[in-house]
Structure 1
Amino acid sequence: MVKNLEKKTESIQQQKLGNRGNKKLRDAKLKAVGAPCFREGNNPYCKVCKDGGSLIMCGHCSRSYHLHCANMQEQDIPAGTWFCPYCVQFMEKKLKDEYTKLEKSEKHHKESKLKHFSGKVNIEQNDITVRWFEKKYPEYVKQGKIQYPIADELIQKECELSQTPLPPPLPLPQPIYPIEDVGDLFFIVDFVYNFGKMLKVTPFTVDQLFYAANSNSQTPLIKELHMALISFLIGHVLSRENTYEILNEDSRFLYSAAQLSEFFELNEFLPFSWLPLLDELIHLPIFKDYADERIMDLFFSDQNKSDLETNYFKCSYKEKIGVILLLINCLFDVKEMHEELARRLEAKGELIKQKTKLNATIKDNEATLPEINGLAATRKAASIAEKIQKTQNKIEELNRKLESIRLRTNPVGLDRDYNEYYIFEWDPKNLYVKMISPIEENSSVKTKESGHWYSYTRSSSLDQLLQCLCPKGIREHKLIEGINKGKRKLKLINGDDSSTSSEDIKPQSKGGAENYVNKESSFKNEDCTIEILKKMLLSIEKKFTRHLKKSGKLWENYERVEEWKEEVSKAEDPSALASLLLEHSQKSTSPLKLSSSSSDQSQDSDEEQVYTKKYRKVTIRIWQDFGDYYQLWENLTQSITTLGQLALVIGIYQKVLNLYIEKKNEAASNEAEVKKKAKQEEKRVLRSEVKNVDVESSNSEEDIKHGDSCYFCDDGGRLICCETCPKVVHPECLGLTKVPKEDWYCDECKYKQQNVPQTRLKSRLRKNIQN
């Protein structure tokens, strides 16, 4: 160590002799390595005893020692520089640090050289790999480099050539409902979520639809969904030009609606009769092509054909879902649906055009940034950056509008096995996966009944999924972007994944299926019961009886009416009510009218006395505006078997009677108006005659004083007097040869009174002539 230090000291001294201009820097370097500085001298006394004499001096500091004070002898004196006990420890540490740094530097130098040479070797090897990869897949190589992302299959098959490590297997998602066709549930729920405002149906969840379809009785969700779809399809069928051609022999109520389309609306009776109308709709030939295998055998086979109203809720879950899908598929052929789709596509296209223009504006602004020079460059660049930021904010707003215009929920991406991943806004608690093939390793889900739909419900499983996805693959690269973009919509459960048993797969509650309320419904919240139909029939009878009483008619005598009402209240079978309805219809066309012999009786008697009067049968034409439809309605009523069918025939009969009553009331009001006008005209004529008589009487009473001279020539003589004014005139002045026998009026009075009665005597004229 001392020898090395002496060597360094000699080298430093040589540098000192060669570089005389920078003395301070040279002394600093000497101090740094521990060599003595020649600018400073050592102490002339011993550090221990403080006496002078023969001393040995430290080469690092200013201390000096006697040999015996330093516990040394002459043979211990080194040939080179000596260090005192205080500086030995420091110098040893200094030398050790210098050697450590030297070793590290040498090691780093060796590693850098090794890395440099190995890098060259790797580059050469990579170039060879890229060249081999380029020969097989030239579309993914550009300028000697592989352009990622590449096809996901290449990452697994050609992991060495693609220079990509084999990605780890994806984590297994959790299974959902262990039922068939679970994907149809998602389709129906998503369709209602996207088009709920047009259908006027409040969105619901998969759990609610699942339990509603599995129920053996009518639920509000199933009823509202069917009524909304049936309403559009009925309007589509009745608005076609060939309506009567597409209706078959079983479409009795649809034919009735077409015949009575001017005043009869089937939508009013959908809450009571949606099942028989559904039965007629799905059996129409135009909708047969939309049906799948699930309902073809059930509804379109003559062998299995049965009454849908009584057997619909006995159908399986699979068949009910098939009917709903059939109605939705048929809905895409409706005019209103076409218009709604066209409107959304047009709005979406307009937003995309605006977005394209804004992106072009951003590119133009970014292109002007490098061209800015001069003193105002910073301000100009800041203003352009502000414009770019505002344009980007507008683009984000357009993106939000584009997301709000939904046609269907598209998958956010595909993984390496082409499995689809979905983020549904109506269920943000799960990331759903539609698998091509079921997960056979999961024993809790049967392969046949799985439906191949799974989900990630926890944030930890989602993070694990993102780590296993390979960003160098085209599909998984887009999938990572889609999941990260839709992450703000997800509300996954925080925590570790737990094992899922087969019992945990099924929901623990009915999801509110029984408590579902359609807040946007346009239909009455009423069920078709026998009691409601009784009230409808009795209200029809009451209203029609009140109308007949106005003209002194009754549809039946008092005793039979009371018996009929009692039979209606006691009826418990639709066919019994239908027969009572037919009885009322037949007797209403030939009611009893009060005979003329009893018409002079008092009209203030009570109801029982009125019914005991003598009546005779008359005929009224209630069905006169419907041609031969009455016979069809009568046959339809005789074939009633269910409450829904009965509600429709009662509704048709009610509309016919209302139309008849309205027309009669309108005719009566028109007749009353004509009589009223005739009376007003008669009164006016009487008032005018009375006025004329009053004028004549007043003239006679006042004894008008006529003038003595002709108002033409102003001479007296034989004069003719005007009947209503004092004017007189010579007959000769009027061009007359004799006095007229009729009353005479001057020109002014003729225009004022054109209709003066000519029954007055010519007393004044004769009087004046005699004079």
Structure 2
Amino acid sequence: MVKNLEKKCEPAQKQSIAKRNNKGLIDAKLKAVGISCFKEGNNPYCKVCKDSGSLMMCGHCSRSYHLHCANMLESDIPAGTWFCQYCVQYVEKRLKDDYLKLEKSERHHKESKIKHFAGKVNDEQKDITVRWFEKKYPEYVKQGKIQYPIADELILKECELSQAPVPVPLPLPNPLSFPSEDIGDLFFVVDFFYNFGKMMKVSPFTIEQLYYALNATVETALIKELHMALIKLLIGHVLSRENAYEVLNEDSKFLYSAAQLSELFEITEFLPYSWLTLLDEIIQLPIFKDYAEDSIVLKKDESYLELNYFSCSFKMRLGILILLINCLFDVKELHDELSRRLEEKGDLAKEKAKLNLEIKEIELKLPEIKGLAATRKASSMTEKIQKKQNKIEEINKKLETIHLRTSPIGLDRDYNEYYFFKWDLKKLYVRMNSPIAQHPPEKTDESGVWYAFTRFSSLDLLLQALCPKGIRENKLIEGIKWAKDRLKLLPGDDSSTSSEMQIDESSHGSKGGIEIYVNKESSFKDGESTIDAFRDMLLKIEKKFTKYLKKGNKLWEGYERTEDWKREVMKAEEPSALANLLLEHSQKSASPLKLASSSDQSGDSDEERVYTQKYRKVSIKIWQDLGDYCQLWENLTQSITTFGQLALVIGIYQEVLNQYMAKKNESGKHENEPKKKVREEEKRVLRSEVKKIPIEISSSSSSSSSSDDDLKHEDNCYFCDDGGKLICCETCPKVVHPKCIGLKKVPKEDWYCDECKYKQQNAPQTRLRSRLRKNE
């Protein structure tokens, strides 16, 4: 240690010869003894006596001393460098510090060597473990290293060989208060309407609201809106089929009426009043039997659901909703929407993959850049990478807005599925393959048991327990982190939320319970199936038709009888009573009273004059263009048992009257239509089986159509020899059903039979050029 200290005290370079010659103050005796002092600038006089002579110079400071002034003998002169009494303490401290540093560095050096050799031993041991692991599972080892993540089963079975930490038990989620065997179906319904709610015009709702609505014993807004939205699309799908008449049988009488009167009557407008009636008919259709999950629904008698829906079990109501949703996957509108979303999602995925490939190509070129302009090129390339990453983030946001079906965000080591539903941000749901022992459900389903995490603290424990070296759990960790940024869970311990997860059945509908559902995007008018609403329907029909008849000096009945009929309407309480009053109005409206002239009254008897006063009975043909459907409608009205059925027959009758009033103007003038156009429309009027019965029309209309009546058409189709709605040929007496010639609707342009078309094609072009152009 003294030698090391002497080395530190030696000067960096040797003194020059001139400087050595100038040192005349050093005594030869001291040199002979061996005292060496290499410090420059010492005082040439003694510190004590201030005199020169043979001096001993301090090796640390500039002081110099005589031997007797320093109270020293010649034997006290050290062999090395001498330090004065002022510098001895400092030098000793410095020596002690240097010793401690040297000792510490030696200790650290020793420890580092031990660690180095221990690391080598561990690496050799790891290499042995990897080699053993490679022998069993060579697909997971590359270049002497295990390529993580690996299969989760290997981490559980070969924990030491896979060099993975010991698996930690996963935290337990909280149970749900819904029936375990039906909660999966509840999720399916809520998720379907969340993904396709905009197309069906249904606002989002929660699973609690659906559960409460399905358990309610009265009609709720949510159940009504869901069924109306589904039934509307299914009715459109059924009526648009080519074989609609074959699909619709006698049991589906109202859908059959809607098919017969498709150009006149829109049955979906009356869904707020008759959704239960149409639900019963839709479920009974044979084309939807393959989708039925609950055979009990189809085995019931006619009108069972219409009369007993709100007394059905929760499971049956839920099964009906799922049945309607499954049937909806055959509807063209849903198919088109699904294909559009899939195509849009595929295009975005392709664009995203292209951007990722471009980023990889740029990253491979970065190490190859050398030279003076390397930094500039590297910065521009990093900017390109950043722009492409920003585009990828925008694509990810767009992909999140394209809803198809909610998929699990990942699986854990036991294949339990974790779900993040965007319509419920307060829970992270888990579908476990086996129930938890602490709180098993009363009944279990084959699809699994559902639980939920409701606290951020429980999610943090879950992330700590998952192993990132496993394939499934590594993906699950990424999914949970992604969902955690979007969830709105509660802080704190998850054990305190068990009571919060339960639904208080007594609080349903109250201010502190579940929020009342309101469909803000509904396309249906507000309608309540109350007796007052149907009374108003009948009175409005009577008022409108009476106003129409007054234009031609007609009344549908005498004033006293009209007032009696109105009073009977206000007294009626049952749908059958209102149906009878509706039949009475239809019969009287077909033979209203018309103001009679004096010549007409002269021949009448006194009794008839008293009865008619100054009116006489006339006949109008309200059902003229509808063939024998009048009798079908009367039979349908006589069989009314519910208010839903009553709303449909009232709707049919109202539309028939509206069509007649728009077509037969009592003033004798066709509003907003030129006479020439009226004649062309009358040519294409559908003929009926009651065509031979004379039709009462005004003098102006008869004169305008006299030229068109010269051509008398046949009464039966020349294909099937049957009557009904027929299209008339423009140049010959032949008539035909639209179905017989492959048409769904009556064409707006002129129609010609095959023989007339053949004659026109073989005729000279100069003679029938205008007709051929019109025919094309």
Task: Establish whether TM, by shorter chain, passes 0.5.
Answer: yes
Shift, 1:378, TM fit? 3.8
Pairing 1:91-490 to 2, within 5 Å after superposition: 91-180=91-180, 181-292=182-293, 295-297=294-296, 299-302=297-300, 307-442=304-439, 448=444, 452-490=449-487
How many Å separate the matches in 2 of 1:218 and 1:455?
30
Aligned identity (percent) is 69
- Matched to 1:301, the amino acid is K
Aligned 8 A contact 1:598 1:614 in 2: no
Alpha-carbon spacing, 1:677–1:573, altered in 2? closer, same or farther (3 Å):
closer
Partner amino acid for 1:540? I
Alpha-carbon distance in structure 2 between the residues aligned to 1:53 and 1:670? 149
Deviation (angstroms), 1:385: 3.1
The 8 Å contact of residues 177 and 503 in structure 2, kept in 1 or not, is answered as yes
In terms of mean alpha carbon deviation, does 135-144 or 431-440 score higher? Answer: 431-440
Alpha carbons of structure 1 residues 204 and 677: separation in structure 2 relative to 1, 3 Å? closer
What is the aligned partner in structure 2 of residue 701 from structure 1? Answer: none
> Given the superposition, is the C-alpha separation of residues 431 and 618 from structure 1 closer, same or farther in structure 2, using an over 3 Å criterion?
same
The answer to whether the 8 Å contact 1:590/1:618 transfers is yes
SS in structure 2 opposite 1:524? coil
Q: Distance in 1 between matches of 2:700 and 2:303?
A: 61
The answer for the alignment partner of 1:583 in structure 2 is 584
CA distance in 1, matches of 2:365, 2:18: 57
Deviations 1:147-204 (A, max 9, x none): 1011112111111110111132222223333433223333222222221221011222
- SS of residue matched to 1:576: helix
Is this contact kept in 2: 1:593–1:616, CA < 8 A? yes
SS of equivalent residue, structure 1 residue 208: helix
Gapped regions of structure 1 (runs ≥ 5): 25-34, 602-608, 681-771
Tell me which amino acid in the other structure corresponds to 1:482.
G
| Partner SS state of residue 295, structure 2 | helix
Closer/same/farther in 2, CA of residues 203 and 504 from structure 1, 3 Å limit: closer
Query: Does the CA contact (< 8 Å) of 1:263 and 1:655 recur in 2?
Result: yes
Mark the CA change 1:240 to 1:106 in structure 2 (over 3 Å): closer, same or farther.
Answer: same
Q: How far apart are the structure 2 equivalents of 1:536 and 1:557?
A: 21
Matches of 1:447 and 1:103, distance apart in 2: 73
Rounded Cα–Cα distance in structure 2 between residues aligned with 1:644 and 1:269: 9
Instruction: Identify which of 477, 480, 496 aligns with 1:499.
Output: 496
Q: 629-638 or 492-501: which moved more?
A: 492-501
Distance in 2 of aligned mates of 1:600 and 1:21: 162
1: CA distance, partners of 2:557 / 2:66: 155
* Alpha-carbon displacement from aligned partner over 1:72-117 (angstroms, at most 9, x marks no partner): 8999876665555543433333233223223322222222222222
Structure 1 residues 548, 22: closer, same or farther in 2, change over 3 A? farther
Per-residue Cα deviation, 1:474-497 (whole angstroms, up to 9, x for no partner) = 112112222333443223334454
Quickly say closer, same or farther: Cα 1:36–1:495, change in 2 above 3 A. farther
Residues 21 and 285 of structure 1: CA distance in aligned 2, closer, same or farther (over 3 Å): farther
Flag the 1:369–1:56 CA change in 2: closer, same or farther, 3 A.
closer
Shift of 1:137: 1.6
Aligned residues of 1:179 and 1:451 also touching (Cα < 8 A): no
Separation of aligned partners in 1, 2:454 and 2:631: 63
Shift of 1:336: 0.6
Distance 1:274 1:679, change over 3 A: closer
**Deviates most, 184-193 or 42-51:** 42-51
Question: Matches of 2:324 and 2:703 in 1, distance apart?
Answer: 62
In the TM superposition, residue 251 of structure 1 has moved relative to its aligned partner by: 1.1
User: SS in structure 1 opposite 2:451?
Assistant: strand
**Partner Cα separation in structure 2 for residue 598 and residue 155 of structure 1:** 110
Once residues 366 and 610 of structure 1 are traced to their aligned partners in structure 2, the CA distance between those partners, rounded to angstroms, is: 105
Distance 1:631 1:514 in 2: 48
Please give the alpha-carbon distance, in whole angstroms, between the structure 2 residues aligned to 1:17 and 1:235.
104
What TM-score results when the alignment is normalised by the length of structure 1?
A: 0.75
**Alignment partners' CA distance in 1, 2:555 and 2:664:** 16
* Equivalent position of 1:706 in the other structure: none
Instruction: Kindly report which structure 2 residues correspond to 1:726-741, keeping only aligned pairs within 5 A, or say none.
Output: none
Q: Is the 8 A contact 2:549 2:666 kept in 1?
A: no
Task: Give the Cα–Cα distance (whole angstroms) in 1 for the partners of residues 364 and 501 of structure 2.
Answer: 58
Change (3 A) 1:667 1:383: farther
Cα contact 2:433–2:448 (8 A) shared by 1: no
Q: Distance in 2 between matches of 1:212 and 1:22?
A: 112
Task: Provide the alpha-carbon RMSD of the alignment.
Answer: 3.8
Given that 1:438 and 1:447 are in contact with CA atoms closer than 8 Å, whether structure 2 keeps it comes out as: no
| Partner-residue secondary structure (3-state), 1:338 | helix
The superposition leaves residues 715-753 of structure 1 with CA deviations (integer Å, 9 ceiling, x where unpaired) of xxxxxxxxxxxxxxxxxxxxxxxxxxxxxxxxxxxxxxx
Q: Which residue of 2 aligns with 1:563?
A: 564
Q: Offset at 1:664?
A: 1.8
Conserved 8 A contact 1:220-1:514: no
Amino acid at match of 1:309: E
SS at match of 1:650: helix
- The answer to whether the Cα contact below 8 Å between 1:594 and 1:613 also exists between their aligned partners in 2 is no
TM-score of the aligned structures, taking structure 2 as reference length: 0.75
- Distance in 2 of aligned mates of 1:219 and 1:22: 116
Query: What secondary structure, in the 3-state scheme, does the structure 1 residue paired with 2:429 have?
Result: strand
Over 3 Å counting, the alpha-carbon distance change for 1:37 and 1:175 in structure 2 is farther
Q: CA deviation at 1:673?
A: 5.9
Amino acid of the structure 1 residue aligned with 2:481: N
Summarize the Cα distance change of 1:522–1:213 in structure 2 as closer, same or farther, 3 Å threshold: same
Q: Structure 2 vs 1, CA of residues 325 and 47 (structure 1 numbering), >3 Å: closer, same or farther?
A: farther
Shift in CA distance, 327/65, structure 1 to aligned 2, threshold 3 Å: same
Change (3 A) 1:83 1:380: closer
Contact 1:219 1:513 survives alignment (8 Å):
no
- In structure 2, the partner of 1:649 is 649
Q: Report the AA paired with residue 208 of structure 2.
A: D
Give the 3 Å change call, closer, same or farther, for CA 48–305 of structure 1 in structure 2: farther
In structure 1, the partner of 2:668 is: 668
What is the rounded CA distance, in whole Å, between the counterparts of 1:552 and 1:12 in structure 2? 136
Task: Provide the residue aligned with 1:528 in structure 2.
Answer: 529
CA contact (8 A) 2:174 2:453 kept: yes
CA contact (8 A) 2:183 2:450 kept: yes
Provide Cα deviations, 1:547-592, integer angstroms capped at 9, x if missing partner: 3444454444443332221111001111111122222223333444
For structure 2, the residue ranges without an aligned partner over 5 or more in a row are: 20-34, 603-608, 677-698, 705-776
Partner Cα distance (1:677, 1:17) in 2: 134
Q: Distance in 2 between matches of 1:512 and 1:668?
A: 63
- AA at the equivalent of 2:223: I
Instruction: Compute the displacement of 1:612 (Å).
Output: 5.1
Q: Please report how far the alpha carbon of residue 618 of structure 1 lies from its aligned counterpart in structure 2 after TM superposition.
A: 4.2
- How far apart are the structure 1 equivalents of 2:378 and 2:149? 34
Q: 1:492 to 1:502 in 2, by over 3 A?
A: closer
Structure having the higher Rg: 1
Q: Which AA in structure 1 matches 2:351?
A: Q
CA contact (8 A) 2:457 2:493 kept: yes
Bigger shift: residues 95-104 or 549-558? 549-558
* Other-structure match for 2:742: none
Q: CA shift at 1:46, angstroms? A: 6.9
Structure 2 Cα separation of the partners of residues 21 and 158 of structure 1: 76
